[in-house]
Structure 1
Amino acid sequence: MGRKKLERFAQNQQSWNVIEAGKPFYEVCKGKWHSDFFKNQNPIVLELACGRGEYSVGMAKVFPNKNFIGVDIKGSRLWKGSQEALKENLLNVAFLRTYIQNLENFFAPQEVAEVWLIHPDPRPKEADARRRLTHPRFLEMYRNLLQKEGWVHLKTDNTGLFEYTLEVLREQQIKNLHFTYDLYASEYATEHFGIKTKYEQIFEQEGEKIKYLKFQFA
């Protein structure tokens, strides 16, 4: 392992806004994010597979009355968002290091207000379908964690993943589905406040249209 990664991991261990194995709150956080961590009742918003956490940090600046948690297994990526949040003195954003499939170990039913999927890995191989974050098994998990009327958002450059998701949603009990194949030419562009990940900027330079959808469970 490189020295830079080791340094980042060491900083994560010292950063209050990174929750990971070995820290006390990691073992007891389920159902206690409001009372014990954020110490308020503001809505909790998850950014899943958050990478560098651009959305968690960016949205935390826009919405000081919401709590944001970026979730990813890559500690060296979380480090970037963690350090940016600390630099900006953002008390309403945190990062949880775990696998997405383990979310129900860390959040109680209806503890979450919104879920954002920002350019998740499309997993294009059919054999990897179950690993797509919009596969029915993940959608069922989101349904359990979300409060009534909570929203799920997907933003992606990948047409295959987008159309797969729309197909899956046709078989789900959902409501208020809104979608577009060209986010920044649509009425939903302002809902993203100009926040773009590093990879999104690369996709746009390559001429890819950004797709977006949101829905609620019925």
Structure 2
Amino acid sequence: MGKDKLRKFAEVATFKNVVQLDVGKDFKGQWAAKFFGNNNPIVLELACGKGEYTVNLAKRYPERNFIGIDYKGNRIWRGAKTALEEGIDNVGFLRIQIESILEHFAENEIAEIWITFPDPQPQISREKKRLTNQRFLEKYKLLLQPGGLMHLKTDNDGFYAYTLEQIDALGLRKEKETTDLYHSELVDDVLAIKTYYERKYLASNKNINYVQWMFREA
């Protein structure tokens, strides 16, 4: 591991807005009260990378709490540091493997979940790693409150098609969907938030797919 990554790993361990590994289990069912000190709704961004989406959502919705989840501490470092520098108190980061998410959050604890440009895991042998595989969707269903929304943004057409298949297989209703977000009527201030990678994809004239769905009506 390079010196810069080691430095970021060491620094992120000192950030008050970052929780790592098993420490997160102590907040299960009480994230709003114990971590944020309020009772506001909680929104997750899974595989958040550098946390651009998490931080920008937090800026737009101060009445909500946002948690970016990723396993790579050197990536989380950027979003966490930005939030600290800008005094954004309604955002935090959790460093865990997403497979263990049910160990860190209680049933019905989450109001909304975003998945933005995840690794599509295109190899058939890695299907179980795809974040919209049915085993992951079953976890999200438990976490989300009735009426809680799921969002996916991805540049990968194959992964998008796979996700729609999983949604349909579970008999879920898609609220919004498009294979070309920035040429659709769906794009708004929130969907227009762009990560580093999304800017690269758009510069290469790649289309951006988006789908929104829910598991249970409110």
Is TM-score (shorter-chain normalized) higher than 0.5? yes
Once structures 1 and 2 are overlaid, which stretch shifts more, 49-58 or 171-180?
Answer: 171-180
Distance in 2 (alpha carbons) for counterparts of 1:21 and 1:160: 31
- Report deviation, 1:105: 0.7
Aligned length: 216
Q: 1:136 to 1:191 in 2, by over 3 A?
A: farther
| Kept in 2: contact 1:70–1:95 (CA 8 A) | yes
Q: Which amino acid aligns with 1:34?
A: A
- Report deviation, 1:176: 4.3
| Kept in 2: contact 1:173–1:217 (CA 8 A) | no
Once structures 1 and 2 are overlaid, which stretch shifts more, 188-197 or 66-75?
Answer: 188-197
The DSSP-based 3-state class of the residue aligned with 1:178 is: strand
Equivalent positions of 1:14-29 (< 5 A) are 14-21=14-21, 25-29=23-27
Distance in 2 (alpha carbons) for counterparts of 1:69 and 1:146: 14
Once structures 1 and 2 are overlaid, which stretch shifts more, 189-198 or 145-154?
Answer: 189-198
Distance in 1 (alpha carbons) for counterparts of 2:208 and 2:89: 30
Q: 1:144 to 1:212 in 2, by over 3 A?
A: same
Q: TM-score, normalised to structure 2's length?
A: 0.95
- Report deviation, 1:185: 1.4
Identical amino acids, percent of aligned pairs: 45
Which residue of the partner structure matches residue 152 of structure 1?
Answer: 150
Alpha carbon RMSD of aligned pairs, Å?
Answer: 1.3
- Report deviation, 1:183: 0.6
Runs of 5+ consecutive residues of structure 1 not aligned to the other structure: none
Runs of 5+ consecutive residues of structure 2 not aligned to the other structure: none
Q: Which of 127, 130, 135 is the aligned partner of 1:129?
A: 127
Q: Which amino acid aligns with 1:118?
A: T
After superposing on structure 2, the runs of 4+ consecutive aligned residues of structure 1 that deviate more than 2 Å are 191-194
Q: TM-score, normalised to structure 1's length?
A: 0.95
Cα deviation, 1:83-129, whole Å, max 9, x if unaligned, reads 01011100000000000111001100000000100000011111111
Q: 1:21 to 1:122 in 2, by over 3 A?
A: closer
